[in-house]
Structure 1
């Protein structure tokens, strides 16, 4: 029996920690009531004898600790010993230690369990042989930090000599000297002195280094920080104090001291408790000492050191990366407390902040104050208008350089141009939804006061409708040649690109004209041809920006085609060092990650390295390479790698692509999702287009003919919709708003049925499905579920869209749709190619979007705006915008019908729910559901405001919308 002094006693039952001898197997039988009774009896006897503590040791295997602790036994912490040994041998790293204490012990052991820290084992090699003389220092000191009771065995299994250090008690059994290693006796002396004098609880802290463990020990007199290096080289660490169990007083004031150097250098670190929790303390742990000790001292008189706290906190504020940490910054809170009036703010600057930095580091003062003012607004502490007024008054103060300082702060908060770079853009060119975004979003940004530019090619060739679209837009918006050609090289070939300019709804458009590079939208056959076009576009855009002096604050590259712009500007010193790009942040917008492999090319082809086309240093090639297929150049991946920030078209899609996106997930981190939207005038423009087409006038006579030929149909119309027989526009003059809406929609539907020679019947549910005919859009699901949808549920469908050139799967789907039309001629209308969506949206009951994936989606929003409900798969942006339709009494919520699995069965189930709604629900309720869908539309002014908020936050510029 060994006697000593108890160190801690925080067991939940508040009794002494005691042990008795058991075999090392630690069988469950030891934890029985008799043992508990014996232990309590021993405790009473000890109290009678006025003994403070007694302890016998009980050896246990890793994983058996929970058995011994049931009755207060102190088991060996053999797990820590073994992990330290494995770290020294290079089989694991220090993360195993954190796993042990953060995950295993809290779940396996009762709260307050004490473990015996061991520094060796009597039936294994001596500790000095296990860890080495230097490794022993890290392992032993970490064990000391994490244990209130420690013991060291050294000797052999035969027991010819071993020693036991039990807490502060030295027991010499046999002759320890015969087996001891005298070289470590000095270290052991320090270790046990530390263990005797620094009694307290230890906690792990992260170091940001997988070969260095960190810990804090909270003793009565001080808090000790330790870093323990298991590597054979000197290691840099960043000590982190965000472990929530650390008993640090958030309101306290602390000084960090290096006990060896601080008394000599006078250098200390000053932190409040809350600031320490979010800070990273940098230090170095040498490979010789293996242990770095720092002291965290409580400051009892913080007023006397207020300048030190303010200055150091302000310097740290300049490098805060997690903006939520501003609320913990002492300097930020001090400035915030003096920001209610300009007088208080100015006095604080003049008397407290300026004297600390003005003569030493004015740039730190300037940058830190710029960040502080922005986050005062960001956190809602002060309104932006008020802070900008402060800056105006500061420029007019005329006091000791404050005017110049105020002007510089205003310069930091000035806005700049927003430049969108895209292969297609309305109203000039379009093949997909990207063109809509690159017109609608800039238009709304311009209306909100931004200076917005769009750079896109001037395509002179293509299919007839594309050429006509470009020609009409150029004429309508008076786009004209600027008289300027920009020049650049690809390999040794010089290109000269004509620059045309025009203005559309407040957006400044630059159209790039070159007979070879921009002859047609997404043209090109070979990898070299396509890469030349994309490189030419990116270099021409960079030249336009520098030639016309746009000085963009942000550039927005869109999808793969424009992705390499960021890499060319950052990789070519001519652009990188140009003043036009001095303040530029490069933002890449991902509209559809699935298209990345349409812009991925083999790097080597017939002995030619395609990267030579870029005219960039060879070492940059790796940043243009696909993250999975290392022999391919990936334009989308380049756009992401060189971007300062990545945005995508919906929050759900942002989450999705960071998990799985054909390899791009390896590059995507902290992607921001902002929902796509439509213009507020979309419905008005669609109705205008609908009227301009004279759809009603052209098809009303055909409708009347169908009615006259079908007595049953005529009776239905006379009974339920007699107004429709009184003229093509009579329904639009009905006074009852709801009745007018029902009649107008029904008229359009019946006329659409007549136009496509479908069965004209008001009771048939008519859907529209108009997209690019590609696998992504879910046409295969429609084909697979067609019998159930058309034969059993009785749907009618208007289906159409273009098939992309060279898309074999799209061509197969197109042929399948034609066969579907031939099989159900009275229920299915198919048009491969252009199909006017305005007519379909204003006439159909429901719009289908059973997409395999859908990054953002605009069609569902256009459908809602036109009062059309949507059947959609819950993926990407559809999940964010389409919500299940529910009706409870007079209450209606939702705007569509969702399904999850990409399967014909799930799709059919959603269509069945849709059919039940339209066939079993009163027409007035259906009308209200359509109105509810219209109210759910995301408009671009809302999304544009979010873009402004997010991008200006990126640069920490105060922007008042």
Structure 2
């Protein structure tokens, strides 16, 4: 079984969000299931030299994008036993960052076209193209329109995975006609049309053989108007080929036993976790006190993450007998909120308005509680890393947060964290107050640690679900021929 992942970012080469973590770690677990999985990415300028220096050019050819004849190079690199291909065109990709340029439609149109055109040149013809998010969303459309009738390609199946439905790649219809050589029949309301333009992601959802998203609850939520981002009707109509498969995390990458960023490595030693906490308090300039619960936020400072609830309750939160650490960057209003709070309450809150991976790991290891009050959360990675480092999550019950955090029940002693249902600032405050109160009951904390210890959020189970899905689609393909 051969599967090619098409995505716009992957750890360790380039990362803007959780997509990169998935593309960097899921293929390794799929390979253990006996699948020949490879990955194809754009070759951005930001990929570190230690990787680009090892790349070998395996193909170069000219491709047609509308009326344009364009150079395309394909470079290859093996990393952690997985073959990665890089689509090389300096005009489109030799610039800082991944996204946010005025010609993004053209850049990722080129990428989608290059993925399909590259297959005969790279000595690897997959059974299945697994396309991730809007940047790869037009691959199934191009396949149906221009490739599916060619004998070499006719067996291919396509899957699209939605990592965050909010980002849909909506651009002008005339650009789609220009870049993809698509007729009018592809651009009306039942096809690519979206908000008066056309959408990469909508194309992928309609033209692919199967759709997955990154948690079972999010798969349900996106079929409702509240979470559906104007695509809920389409997703309801396609729900027979829609499945939520929970993301995992790379247990080798995130391991407090071997993490080089920690002062004290540990697995289930509460004493060593507390030692990391005291070091962290010292580093952050907070009062060093093992008995005060330390609550962490490691997040992008954006509205999606529920920070408006914190804004609404900041005085009440600072009145709690707890300490806070915030790490991240994002919208100026939230950056300012936390800077202001750190200035007003220096013994209560440390605001680290930056991105620092080493500090993030120290915060996971040193915090007692980890807050994610998200407005929506397709899967969420923070709560999974927090539990791996034995920090107890406080979450809103949405998307993957609901699927991964079991609310603590004082009568049975079961549960792995604390949660609230409604997007409501008082509900969040009440839940945090309860967590802070129960932190001071050693029996409760022992229960929580023991319950978290039994959980497995590695990629193993999820990879098994993907492998089963791939095999079902391959069998369907053989039956259909």
TM-score, normalised via structure 1 length: 0.47
Q: In 2, are the aligned partners of 1:868 and 1:933 still within 8 Å (CA)?
A: no
Q: Which residue of 2 aligns with 1:675?
A: 246
State the alpha-carbon separation in 2 of the partners of residues 633 and 642 from structure 1.
14
Shift of 1:916: 1.1
Would the alpha carbon gap of residues 625 and 825 (structure 1) be closer, same or farther in structure 2, given more than 3 Å must change?
farther
Q: Which residue of 2 aligns with 1:620?
A: 186
Shift of 1:761: 1.4
Q: In 2, are the aligned partners of 1:850 and 1:907 still within 8 Å (CA)?
A: yes
Shift of 1:928: 4.3
Is residue 328 of structure 2 the alignment partner of residue 801 of structure 1?
yes
Q: In 2, are the aligned partners of 1:499 and 1:510 still within 8 Å (CA)?
A: yes
Structure 1 gap segments, 5+ residues each: 1-415, 462-466, 697-728, 804-809
Q: Which residue of 2 aligns with 1:602?
A: 172
State the alpha-carbon separation in 2 of the partners of residues 623 and 424 from structure 1.
30
Structure 2 gap segments, 5+ residues each: none
Q: CA RMSD in A?
A: 2.3
Q: Which residue of 2 aligns with 1:937?
A: 456
State the alpha-carbon separation in 2 of the partners of residues 472 and 886 from structure 1.
49
> Which of 30, 50, 64 in structure 2 is aligned with 1:472?
50
> Which of 450, 455, 464 in structure 1 is aligned with 2:35?
450
Q: In 1, are the aligned partners of 2:67 and 2:178 still within 8 Å (CA)?
A: no
> Which deviations, in whole Å up to 9, do the C-alpha atoms of 1:201-260 show, x marking residues without a partner?
xxxxxxxxxxxxxxxxxxxxxxxxxxxxxxxxxxxxxxxxxxxxxxxxxxxxxxxxxxxx
Q: Which residue of 2 aligns with 1:488?
A: 63
Shift of 1:755: 0.5
Q: In 2, are the aligned partners of 1:625 and 1:632 still within 8 Å (CA)?
A: no
Q: In 2, are the aligned partners of 1:559 and 1:591 still within 8 Å (CA)?
A: yes
Q: Which residue of 2 aligns with 1:637?
A: 202
Q: In 2, are the aligned partners of 1:490 and 1:532 still within 8 Å (CA)?
A: no
Q: Which residue of 1 aligns with 2:114?
A: 540
Would the alpha carbon gap of residues 615 and 883 (structure 1) be closer, same or farther in structure 2, given more than 3 Å must change?
same
> Where in structure 2 are the equivalents of 1:235-246 lying within 5 Å?
none
> Which deviations, in whole Å up to 9, do the C-alpha atoms of 1:43-62 show, x marking residues without a partner?
xxxxxxxxxxxxxxxxxxxx
State the alpha-carbon separation in 2 of the partners of residues 563 and 626 from structure 1.
11
> Which deviations, in whole Å up to 9, do the C-alpha atoms of 1:166-197 show, x marking residues without a partner?
xxxxxxxxxxxxxxxxxxxxxxxxxxxxxxxx
Shift of 1:518: 1.6
State the alpha-carbon separation in 1 of the partners of residues 124 and 187 from structure 2.
29
Question: Residue 91 of structure 2: SS of its match in structure 1?
Answer: coil
> Which deviations, in whole Å up to 9, do the C-alpha atoms of 1:525-553 show, x marking residues without a partner?
32xx1111010100111122232242221
Is residue 77 of structure 2 the alignment partner of residue 502 of structure 1?
yes
Q: Which residue of 1 aligns with 2:341?
A: 820
State the alpha-carbon separation in 2 of the partners of residues 825 and 624 from structure 1.
55
> Which of 879, 897, 903 in structure 1 is aligned with 2:418?
897
More helix by share: 1
Q: In 1, are the aligned partners of 2:158 and 2:209 still within 8 Å (CA)?
A: yes
> Where in structure 2 are the equivalents of 1:378-397 lying within 5 Å?
none
> Which of 14, 18, 24 in structure 2 is aligned with 1:429?
14
Question: Residue 13 of structure 2: SS of its match in structure 1?
Answer: coil
Would the alpha carbon gap of residues 627 and 658 (structure 1) be closer, same or farther in structure 2, given more than 3 Å must change?
farther
Q: Which residue of 1 aligns with 2:396?
A: 873
Shift of 1:593: 0.4
Shift of 1:750: 1.1
> Which of 586, 592, 604 in structure 1 is aligned with 2:158?
586
State the alpha-carbon separation in 2 of the partners of residues 927 and 665 from structure 1.
42
Q: In 1, are the aligned partners of 2:293 and 2:436 still within 8 Å (CA)?
A: yes
Q: In 2, are the aligned partners of 1:546 and 1:578 still within 8 Å (CA)?
A: no
Shift of 1:590: 0.6
* Larger relative contact order (CA 8 Å, sep ≥ 6): 2
Is residue 281 of structure 2 the alignment partner of residue 753 of structure 1?
yes
> Which of 822, 838, 842 in structure 1 is aligned with 2:365?
842
State the alpha-carbon separation in 1 of the partners of residues 362 and 446 from structure 2.
18
State the alpha-carbon separation in 2 of the partners of residues 513 and 746 from structure 1.
48
State the alpha-carbon separation in 2 of the partners of residues 755 and 624 from structure 1.
56
Would the alpha carbon gap of residues 567 and 521 (structure 1) be closer, same or farther in structure 2, given more than 3 Å must change?
farther
Question: Residue 592 of structure 1: SS of its match in structure 2?
Answer: coil
State the alpha-carbon separation in 1 of the partners of residues 192 and 176 from structure 2.
14
Q: In 1, are the aligned partners of 2:301 and 2:307 still within 8 Å (CA)?
A: yes
State the alpha-carbon separation in 2 of the partners of residues 535 and 440 from structure 1.
26
> Where in structure 2 are the equivalents of 1:171-320 lying within 5 Å?
none
Q: In 2, are the aligned partners of 1:564 and 1:639 still within 8 Å (CA)?
A: yes
Is residue 215 of structure 2 the alignment partner of residue 650 of structure 1?
yes
State the alpha-carbon separation in 1 of the partners of residues 66 and 189 from structure 2.
19
Question: Residue 764 of structure 1: SS of its match in structure 2?
Answer: coil
State the alpha-carbon separation in 1 of the partners of residues 382 and 310 from structure 2.
17
Question: Residue 799 of structure 1: SS of its match in structure 2?
Answer: strand
> Which deviations, in whole Å up to 9, do the C-alpha atoms of 1:142-161 show, x marking residues without a partner?
xxxxxxxxxxxxxxxxxxxx
Aligned length: 469
> Which deviations, in whole Å up to 9, do the C-alpha atoms of 1:285-340 show, x marking residues without a partner?
xxxxxxxxxxxxxxxxxxxxxxxxxxxxxxxxxxxxxxxxxxxxxxxxxxxxxxxx
Shift of 1:762: 1.4
Q: In 1, are the aligned partners of 2:417 and 2:448 still within 8 Å (CA)?
A: no
